[in-house]
A = this chain, B = another copy of it.
Amino acid sequence: MAKRHTHTCPIAGVLNIFGDNWTWLLIREAFYGATRFSEIQRNTGIAKNVLSDRLDVLVNEGILVREDVGENGTRYAYRLTAKGESLHPVLLALHQWGNEHVYGPGNEPVLLLERATGKPLQPLAPTSRDGHRLTRAEIETRPGPGASKATVRRLAEAQE
């Protein structure tokens, strides 16, 4: 899976890692606690060569680490790094959208609950620095320090 998007864009950057049919499922597995190659393969149904390739990508990106767990040699555990754990909000957002809009209310396959109360989480929503919820209109997308000229131009014409 070569990097395909060359635009300077955060979404494009994410797609260069996660823009395929499997990688988010591997992240799900990691958050569910699956660490072994064979375990992940069984749980997802991914082909071994593709799994091998995707794990390499995730390890190279610093999202997973491969730890030795056999006495010496050929048993490994794949675990989330801190960078990997930082994907949790994204995974939750995907999860909530899937529950709500793919399966629908009353048909959710996997609920997300607060452990202490058993009540469902709130839908993830953007908040300002002082903690209040923001609507789409209250959010501005502005070129940042890493913006290319194309990005600046693009955002300018998006304002119309």
B113 x A121 contact (CB < 8 A): no
A10 x B128 contact (CB < 8 A): no
Secondary structure of the A contact surface, majority rule: mixed
**How big is the A interface, by class?**
35 or more
Which residues from 11 to 40 on chain A have a C-beta closer than 8 Å to any C-beta of chain B?
11-17, 19-22, 24-25, 28, 31-34
A143 x B109 contact (CB < 8 A): yes
Which one, B4, B15, B113, B148, contacts A142 given CB within 8 A?
B113
A77 in the interface (beta carbon within 8 A)? no
A158 to chain B, nearest CB (A): 4
* A134 CA to B110 CA, complexed, in Å: 18
Which residues of chain B are within 8 angstroms of A124 by Cβ–Cβ distance?
A: 89, 93, 124-127
In the complex, per-residue mask of A67-97: 1 if CB is within 8 Å of any chain B CB, else 0: 0000000000000000101111111111111
A29 to chain B, nearest CB (A): 9
Which one, B24, B34, B119, contacts A11 given CB within 8 A?
B24
In the complex, per-residue mask of A107-140: 1 if CB is within 8 Å of any chain B CB, else 0: 1111111111111111111111101001011111
A147 x B110 contact (CB < 8 A): yes
A100 in the interface (beta carbon within 8 A)? yes
| Sample of 7 more A-B contacts, CB < 8 Å, known A31-B136, A114-B129 | A10-B98, A10-B99, A14-B24, A19-B22, A107-B144, A110-B147, A115-B139
Show 28 residue pairs from A and B whose CB-CB distance is below 8 angstroms, ordered by the A residue: A8-B109, A10-B103, A11-B25, A11-B91, A12-B98, A13-B109, A15-B25, A17-B102, A20-B21, A31-B136, A32-B155, A32-B158, A34-B158, A43-B154, A89-B93, A89-B124, A90-B94, A92-B139, A110-B142, A110-B144, A111-B143, A112-B139, A114-B139, A115-B137, A121-B126, A121-B128, A122-B128, A124-B124
